[in-house]
């Protein structure tokens, strides 16, 4: 019998998955939470065989939970279950040595199958995810440019950005000009829309 813990902040999906997995003869749901902090505490306390973790949750993300658990629980198998194929998430997950990374855009059968495969020692990455990552428009922005993009995404003015990252006013404007040129746009809002669409921020 395999014990499973579910961390998923959308109550409907959380309860639905709990019910479905619990129906499997060899699975037993021993707990679930809709926020990250509680999930981490309970997983440490209950020591399940498998933890299914959503990434975006209140309090603490599934990736943070995975990272902390990796250090203290060697046997625990970690499965990340999330909505979007974001490169940053994926890389973080790979670096944390999670056992599987699945998209919510898969049917529940797939989750069940994945759990079985993980128990058998396999590591599973959703193929849709992998191809999305590989085909995604590569972010052409430098670190500095990305930092500045994030600054003006919250509405800061050039001067405010210059003050927060300790660059001159003119330099910040040069970077912004470069961002606009690389994104093929002529205004901050357009550049932001491009960046969001391509998951650069």
Spatial neighbors of 97 by CB under 8 A, at least 6 apart, are 70
Which of 52, 72, 70, 74 lies closest to 62, judged by CA? 52
d(CA 169, CA 31): 53
Query: Do 51 and 73 touch, CB atoms closer than 8 A?
Result: no
Query: Do 35 and 11 touch, CB atoms closer than 8 A?
Result: no
Closest separation in Å from C-beta 141 to DNA: 11
Q: Is 123 left (phi over 0), alpha (psi -120 to 50) or beta?
A: beta
Indicate which single residue of 6, 7, 17, 51 sits in contact with its own copies (rule: CB under 8 A). Answer: 17
Start-to-end Cα distance in the chain: 42
Indicate which single residue of 13, 124, 165, 167 sits in contact with its own copies (rule: CB under 8 A). Answer: 13
Cβ closest to DNA, residue 81 vs residue 192: 192
174 binds, among its own copies, DNA, none (CB under 5 to 8 A by kind): DNA
What are the residues binding DNA (CB under 7 A)?
A: 142-144, 157-159, 167-171, 173-174, 176-177, 180-181, 186-188
Q: Which two tokens stand for residue 61?
A: 């993300």
Cβ closest to DNA, residue 123 vs residue 159: 159
Closest separation in Å from C-beta 12 to its own copies: 4
Interface map 151-170 toward its own copies (x if CB under 8 A):
-xxxx-x-------------
Closest separation in Å from C-beta 135 to DNA: 24
Closest separation in Å from C-beta 126 to its own copies: 11
111 binds, among its own copies, DNA, none (CB under 5 to 8 A by kind): its own copies
d(CA 89, CA 101): 10
Verify binding: residue 15, its own copies, rule CB under 8 A: yes
What would the DSSP string read from start to end of 121-143?
T--EE-HHHHHHHHHSPP----H
164 binds, among DNA, its own copies, none (CB under 5 to 8 A by kind): none
Chain residues in the site for its own copies (CB under 8 A): 10-17, 19-20, 23, 81, 83, 104-109, 111, 152-155, 157, 185-190, 192-193
């Amino acid at each position: 019998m395999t014990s499973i813990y579910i961390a998923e902040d959308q109550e409907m999906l959380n309860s639905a998955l709990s019910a479905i997995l619990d129906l499997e003869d060899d699975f037993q749901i021993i707990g679930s939470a809709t926020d990250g902090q509680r999930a981490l505490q309970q997983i440490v306390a209950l020591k399940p065989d498998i933890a299914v973790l959503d990434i975006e949750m209140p309090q603490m993300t599934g990736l943070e939970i995975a990272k902390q658990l990796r250090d203290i629980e060697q046997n625990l198998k970690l499965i990340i279950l999330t909505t979007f194929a974001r490169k940053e998430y994926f890389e973080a997950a790979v670096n944390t040595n999670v056992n599987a990374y699945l998209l919510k855009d898969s049917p529940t059968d797939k989750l069940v199958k994945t759990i079985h495969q993980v128990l058998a020692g396999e590591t599973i990455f959703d193929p849709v995810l992998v191809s999305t990552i590989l085909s995604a428009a590569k972010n052409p922005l430098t670190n500095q440019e990305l930092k500045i993009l994030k600054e003006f995404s919250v509405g800061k003015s050039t001067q405010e950005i210059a003050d927060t990252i300790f660059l001159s006013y003119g330099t910040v404007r040069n970077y912004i000009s470069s961002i606009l040129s690389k994104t093929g746009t002529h205004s901050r809002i357009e550049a932001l829309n491009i960046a969001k669409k391509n998951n650069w921020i």
